[in-house]
Amino acid sequence: MSTSSSPPSSAAAAAAPEEKQKTAERAQEMETYRQKCDGYIKSGLKRNVTVQWLIDRLMTMGCDPPNGFIKCMDCGEKMAGGGFGVVEETVIDAKPTNTTNDDGSSALSDAVAQRAKTAQCHRTDEDLRRQLDAADDGKVRLRLLPEIFLCQQHLRNETHAHEAMVHELIHAIDLCRTKMDPLNNCMHMACTEIRAENLSGECDWLRELAKGKMSKFGGHGAECAKRRATLSVQANPKCREKAREYVDAAFERCYKDTFPFDRHPNLR
């Protein structure tokens, strides 16, 4: 019996250069986004007084940011300006009692290693759910590393990038001052999201008006912070079903909390 393969069809041969061209164009597009995003980060660190002040406060509090802790990343289709924290997953060593347990431990270690290779913004909802389940079962320890990423292709302009930096730096401040655990404590997550939405400038009334999100002038900031914080809390599988309840419960206290600012930074 002949085992020779058929030559590629003319259609397949013609498609190969097209795919190669698309790949090259996307790579160039991502490089352009990255360069622009890198420029936004540099301008934020050099010229944005709020970004500079928050980083200085982190250092004063004893939480010196590591070099390059704000990065630009290709976030794919995930529509976000940025994100805070990389979930570090460490397997808890256990002495296997039989081959079955040994195989299970090996499979878990392989899964953890594979997730570690995936950038945080590319990790799926299922990845996070498996991490949380493994932690609940006592198989792994989870730790939130204080790193910030900006989604390079979703930044509208420099102002948007700087607001995203301030938002994520508020999370860094909260992690430093309270040792919060937003992965497992939904009230912690609700509070830090409320504060970040409120203090970052992302709920500016002109932007809300342009988006058609402002139903009334008075109190629009609180409504915006609640709406956006709820969406963020819903990203955690542990908190998703009761996200609005957690936000409502934490709102009064956390919306008034302007630390490390003496007053709201957007008030003139």
Nearest to 162 by CA among 46, 240, 34, 69: 46
Q: Does residue 168 carry a catalytic annotation? A: yes
- Angstrom CA distances, 67 to 64, 70, 146, 246, stand at 9, 8, 12, 34
DSSP 88: E
- Measured between alpha carbons, how far is 78 from 121 in angstroms, rounded to an integer? 8
Nearest to 43 by CA among 73, 75, 70: 70
- Measured between alpha carbons, how far is 108 from 150 in angstroms, rounded to an integer? 30
Angle between helices 220-233 and 186-199 (to 10 degrees): 140
The one catalytic residue in 89, 147, 163, 168 is 168
Contact call for residues 109 and 100 (beta carbons, < 8 A): no
DSSP 208-241: HHHHT--S-STTHHHHHHHHHHHHHHTTSTTTGG
- Measured between alpha carbons, how far is 183 from 190 in angstroms, rounded to an integer? 11
* C-beta atoms surrounding 152 within 10 Å: 24
Which residue numbers are catalytic?
Answer: 168
